[in-house]
Amino acid sequence: MACNASRPRLVGSGGATEIVMLGLVMVVLLQTAPRGVTPWLLRLFPARGRPLMDLDRAKTVEPFAARPKPERGSEILVVEGATKRFGGLTAVNGVSFDLKAGEILGVIGPNGAGKSTLFNLLTGISPATAGEIRYRGDRIERMASRRIARLGVARTFQHVLLRSDMSALENVAVGAHLRSDRGYLSALLRLDRREEEKLLAEAMRQLERVGLAHLAQEPAGSLALGQQRILEIARALAADPALLLLDEPAAGLRFKEKQELADLLSKLREEGVAVLVVEHDMNFVMNLVDRLVVISFGQKICEGVPSHVQNDVAVQEAYLGVAA
Ligand code: ADP
Ligand code: MG
């Protein structure tokens, strides 16, 4: 007996078995379901019944108040000597240009020229070191990004930033939350059903506007890259912007997807939205924009209509040896 008692056991007594088993279950779960068991359960028991929102229902929900839009052709953005320094590096160096409502302005330049940094200054992601940026008369060069967004400036980023496990509809609803006076969380946690309906209906209307209404209930991560980029634009549009900034929206898209994107941006221009677009694909840019600003090493080296910019010697030099 004494001999038996001292023999090492595989699992101990007094609750040790449970701990070991629990540990094993945790290992298996972490290996096979790192995002939790909900996706499993949803696959086993797919949600039935009414979708969160559909087009017919969206039409019956009272929309958020629309922002008063600037008159077509009126000045919406004025950038004067915008400068951003990172220590010894001047990423944006005294850049000036303006933009009117209902105009598409392209910003082009080699990699590292400072285009994304310029976008960050315009959207309050980082404050300008010097210079002035005026949006509809308000100085925004050092304003917080949330306030700038509330004024009607929306953007997409160079790399797709979506919640891939959330539906397309919910991703777009996130973009509308700034228009709600209740806050997105309280709506999403269903503390306020009416507000939640308004957010989802707005998201549905924007999905229809960009031609993705049929994919509203799909997880964003399951969409093709081109659709994800358009979905990001829908999310930006849900904020009811007067100025839309797109950082390389055509990157990685196939020919047909690029055409669809160009059609959408032309449609937005018709509606009077001002669009600022950074893009590398020259064919895409040249056929779409009204004017171009060319940046190289942080400085504006040329500005004008596409045909003028194409023939500019400084621009050709800046691009020499750089894949456009
Ligand atoms: P582009 O979008 O035209 O390719 P970026 O605006 O991303 O160029 O970058 C311009 C320059 O600024 C690059 O040299 C880059 O390394 C630098 N830069 C960008 N952001 C930062 C940062 N947060 N800190 C330091 N340097 C930065
Ligand atoms: Mg960039």
Q: What is the distance between the alpha carbons of residues 281 and 248, in angstroms, rounded to a whole number? A: 9
Domain residue spans of the chain: 9-42, 75-320
88 lines ligand 1 (CB under 6 A): no
Indicate whether residue 115 lines ligand 1 (CB < 6 A). yes
**Cβ–Cβ under 8 Å, residues 276 and 107:** yes
Tens-digit pLDDT string for the chain (324 aa): 444 555 556 555 667 888 888 899 889 888 887 777 776 776 666 555 567 888 888 888 888 888 888 888 899 999 999 999 999 999 999 999 999 999 999 999 999 999 999 999 999 999 999 999 999 999 999 999 999 999 999 999 878 888 888 999 999 999 988 887 766 566 566 667 778 888 999 999 999 999 999 999 999 999 998 899 999 999 999 999 999 999 999 988 889 889 989 999 999 999 899 999 999 888 899 999 999 999 999 999 999 999 999 888 888 888 764 444
Choose the residue to mutate in 83, 90, 108, 117 for probing ligand 1, maximizing ligand atoms within 8 Å of C-beta.
117
Q: Which residues contact 154 (CB under 8 A, 6 or more apart)?
A: 175, 236, 237, 239, 241, 243, 244, 245
For the domain 75-320, what is the CATH code?
3.40.50.300
Q: What angle do CA 44, 45, 48 make, to 5 degrees?
A: 145
The verdict on the CB of residue 298 being under 6 Å from ligand 1 is no
The continuous run of DSSP H or E covering 243 comes out as strand 243-247
Q: Kindly report the pTM of this predicted structure.
A: 0.81
Q: 163: number of CA atoms within 13 Å, CB side?
A: 13
Strands (E), 30-184: 75-86, 89-100, 104-108, 130-135, 138-139, 153-156
* Residue given tokens 């691009």 in the structure block: 319
Say if ligand 1 is within 6 A of residue 109 CB: yes
Cα of 122 vs centre of ligand 1, distance in Å, is 15
Per-residue tokens: 167: 């539906």
Find out whether the beta carbon of 131 lies less than 6 Å from any atom of ligand 1.
no
Question: Which of 89, 108, 248 has the most ligand 1 atoms within 8 A of CB, as the residue to mutate?
Answer: 89
Contact indicator for 259, 228 with CB cutoff of 8 Å: no
Instruction: Output the residue whose Cα is nearest ligand 1's atom 21.
Output: 86
